[in-house]
Amino acid sequence: MRSDAMFDNSYDGVLDDWKLKLITRRARRMGFRDFELDDAQQQTVLALLHFRFDPARANGACESTAVTAVIDRQQWERESRENTHRGA
């Protein structure tokens, strides 16, 4: 199994390290295989770059909870698209 540090993608200065690690953990939990992680990470990073956490609209949720929701939604959508293309 690859470590988080082995990604080919580099997002230094673009996205907080904890968010990148969270993307990897959530993708693995959803069943993404090692060879799928880079693509899942790229797509999810783009979504997180557009996401702005607003505590006033968060209903008491902290930033990590909101970021987890964005990550899960992106990865679920990716999984759904993959299954559609495979005919599953």
pTM listed for this prediction: 0.76
Round to whole Å and give the CA distance between 63 and 85: 33
Amino acid at 15: L
Contact of 80 with 57, CB cutoff 8 Å: no
Q: How far is CA 39 from the centre of its chain?
A: 10
With bands split at pLDDT 50, 70 and 90, how would you rate the model's confidence at 81? confident
Encode pLDDT of 5-40 as tens digits.
445 567 888 999 999 999 999 999 998 898 888 888
Encode pLDDT of 16-25 as tens digits.
999 999 999 9
